[in-house]
Amino acid sequence: MKKPGENISGGRLSILVTDTQELVGLGVVRSLGRAGYRVTAGHPFSVPPAARYSRYCRGHIAYPDPWLRHAEFREWLKTVLSTGDYDAFLPIAEAPIAAAAAMRTQLPSEVILILPSDENLRFTLSKYHANRLARDTGVPVAPTVFVSDGTSAAWNDDLGFLRFPVVIKTDNVLISPEIYRKGTCTVVRDTSEARDVLAECRAMKRGVIAQEFVPGSGLGVAVLRWKDDIKLCFTHRRIHEVPWTGGASSFRASCHDSATEKHASAMLKAMGYQGVALVEFRQKESGQTSYFMEINGRFWGSIALSQHAGFDFPAALLDCVLTGGVKPEREVRDYPDGLRCRNLCPGEVRHLFSVLKSDPQTGFSKPPSKLMTLSDFFLLSLHPFIRSDEFWWTDPAPALIQFLTTINDLRGGLRYRFQWLTRLLGDRRILKNAVREHRLRSKNHNHSFHKKPKSFLFLCHGNMYRSPFAKAAWDRLAKERGGSSLSDSAGFHPETGRSIPDNFHPLLKFMGIDTSSHRSRRITRAMVDSADLILVMDLLNWRHCMKEFPDARKKILFLGLFSGDENIQISDPERMNVLEARKSFEKILRSVEGLLSFYLKDSAVQ
């Protein structure tokens, strides 16, 4: 007769676990390996995990990143699970969970898929549906507007009764066959910022809610629920988060909060949930009302704390999957308050830097004291009774590998910093010269020019965001002011025919600029020769231009010189959220207006 934890042939059950490059993955590998299972650590290509060096890990395997190569990951998963090497598959993060859930009927039936049901995933992958469930269940929720469930038909962007700052939250979504995008939380401080963020959300067609910001600290209720019964329950309070304003936990402590635990239990019961989940709340102060935030239907990043407290959630979940209940030795009903656990690197290091870089004048809540945070960082590192996420006395190798990797990264970082400092000094010299020459031109427009410019070429790297926007703004403003001019835009990226993503169109149209028909082009010698003035956005553009067309040096200017800002570079919005991008586009508008005014003084635009 086959025993629990064994496969059909009587050997130990073989389990493939994803995302072992993360701390949560290391915790799961340790738990299942210690329980006697044969664990293979899965990880994306080029990201070898420290978990592979754990004494509890049988081996490791690389796969296409399911966040960026989702369709390719699905094909990989189907192939790997069809080999017969694995008896069970346990995805950790949302992207591999979504991929496996979409393929339930395509994967081998003999492989056990350890993930929530499709009905449960409707809530664990969606802040929209989870918060509606919390409200309907009577669980406290911060004042919320349910903007959209992800369909174009249902949309409500009236935030009139909410008090700012407001957090706009979006659901996880597969935005293309290859890209699975994690949900976001964006803090907006006024209706103008809210409008821009909501317009971007609408273009991406994902579930959206808007909630009043809840100050305080996070509470996490970790639960193993099986067959209508809570098998394990463990609560922790976040002490430090990354960034300090709210995010992943880098330092936390065990606690009890019966009211919050009852709310978590009520929500999971209403869902008919089965498996492990972390139900997250936010609480202004201990003992006050806890407001529901979200449900994670997976193992969590701070799992090491519960393991140090004796709660072996991964192994207990496998007990339930294989036998229908938790083994007696893993049944834990209580734990001490104040048991603390830290993720020193990179968690606490990033928390420290987020505080050191914080600006009390621009934030919506007062940051901790920088001096106290710095002293706490070193004092806590010397505290003998604070547990570690990475280091276990019974399994020290992963922590040692992580330490050596960090040292190597620091060495590389120091070399990079030295190169960066050298380059920075050169950059400052270039920018300083550009400003000095511009001041000379302000006194004498003809300085360094043989003729007044009548044709303008706007350049950025990809010719998708900044330069086409600048060209369109120039054409519109020149026409409004009764003049006309020749203008063009181009870039240095070798790939042409690209357009700005759809989620930026509402922002640009609101600013009075439409670049939806634009397709990117690469700069040519003919463009350079025909332009009287070449406007670049940043030093990268300037260097590219000087390398390819050094003879055009006298007619190359930074567009930001005309913005009135001290910093004359204009950042690329490509990797920015819509609020950050708006600042770059607004700077381009100011620069184009300044450029137009500057040359109109001598009727340069004709």
**With DSSP H G I counted as helix, E B as strand and the rest as coil, what are the percentages for the chain, rounded to 5?**
40, 20, 40
Give the contacts of 21 (CB within 8 A, at least 6 positions apart).
43, 44, 47, 48, 49, 50, 51
Domain spanning 444-600: CATH 3.40.50.20: no
Those residues whose C-beta lies under 8 Å from the C-beta of residue 47, and which sit 6 or more positions away, are: 21
Distance CA 406, CA 350 (A): 13
For position 411, what pLDDT does the model report?
67
Q: In what order do the strands lie in the sheet with 14-17?
A: 59-63, 38-44, 14-17, 88-90, 112-113
pLDDT for residue 413:
59
Question: CA 507 → CA 193, 476, 485, distances in Å?
Answer: 10, 17, 26
The alpha-helical segments, DSSP class H, found in 286-346 are 303-308, 313-323
| Type of residue found at 20 | T
Quote the pLDDT of residue 484: 60
Q: Which residues make Cβ contacts (< 8 Å) with residue 136, sequence separation at least 6?
A: 270
Integer Cα distance of 468 and 429 in angstroms:
28
d(CA 562, CA 547): 24
Domains 122-142+214-336 and 444-600 agree in fold: no
Instruction: State the amino acid at position 584 in one-letter form.
Output: S
Could you tell me if residue 377 is left (phi over 0), alpha (psi between -120 and 50 degrees) or otherwise beta? alpha
Contact predicate 132/139, CB 8 Å: no
By DSSP bridging, strand 556-558 and strand 533-536 are parallel
Successive 10-residue mean pLDDT values, the chain, 606 residues? 46 88 92 94 88 91 94 96 95 95 93 95 95 95 93 81 92 88 89 87 86 91 94 94 83 94 96 95 86 95 93 95 90 90 84 81 72 88 87 85 71 63 71 78 54 86 94 90 79 92 84 90 94 93 92 91 90 85 92 85 47
User: Any idea how long the chain is?
Assistant: 606
At position 83, the amino acid (one-letter code) is T
Torsions phi, psi of 484, nearest 5?
-145, 155
Residue 30, Cβ neighbours under 10 Å: how many?
26
Note the pLDDT of residue 541: 93
Strand 229-242 relative to strand 248-255: parallel, antiparallel, unpaired?
Answer: antiparallel
Contact present, 124 and 130 (Cβ < 8 Å): yes
- DSSP secondary structure code for residue 344 in this structure: I
pLDDT of residue 404: 76
**CATH assignment of 14-115, among 3.40.50.150, 1.20.1250.20, 3.40.50.720, 3.30.870.10:** 3.40.50.720
Q: Which amino acid is at 373?
A: T
Asked whether the beta carbons of 19 and 43 are under 8 A apart, the reply is yes
226 DSSP β-pair partners: 229
Rounded to 5°, angle at Cα 436 from 432 and 440: 170
Bin 396: left if φ > 0, else alpha if -120 < ψ < 50, else beta: alpha
* Cis before 243 (ω within 30): yes
The pLDDT, as a whole number, for residue 142 is 95
122-142+214-336: CATH class: alpha beta
Q: Give the residue extent of every domain in the chain.
A: 14-115, 122-142+214-336, 444-600
Q: Is 254 exposed, middle or buried (0-12, 13-18, 19+ CB in 10 A)?
A: buried
Q: What are the beta bridge partners of residue 533?
A: 456
**Among the listed residues 457, 260, 243, 195, the one whose alpha carbon sits nearest the alpha carbon of residue 347:** 243
